[in-house]
Amino acid sequence: MAAGGESIWSLVFKFFNFAVLVGLLIYFVGKPLKSYLAKRHQTVKTQLEETQKALKEAEALRAQYQERMDRLDGEIEVFKKETLQEAEKEKKKIIDEAMVFAARIREQARLTAEQENKEVARRIKEEISRLTVGQAEKLIAEKITQSDHDKLVEDFIVKLRSMN
Report the length, in residues, of the chain: 164
Cα 77 from Cα 60, distance rounded (Å): 26
Q: Which helix (DSSP H) or strand (DSSP E) does residue 164 occupy?
A: none
Residue type, 96: D
Dihedral Cα 125, 127, 130, 135, nearest 10 deg: -100
Q: Give the chain's mean pLDDT.
A: 89
Q: What is the mean pLDDT of residues 30-51?
A: 91
Q: What is the mean pLDDT of residues 57-86?
A: 91
Domain boundaries, the chain: 8-163
The pTM (predicted TM-score) of the whole model is 0.41
Q: Is the pLDDT of residue 1 over 50?
A: no
Q: Does the CA dihedral 9-10-15-21 come out positive or negative?
A: positive
pLDDT computed for residue 62 by the predictor: 93
pLDDT computed for residue 5 by the predictor: 61
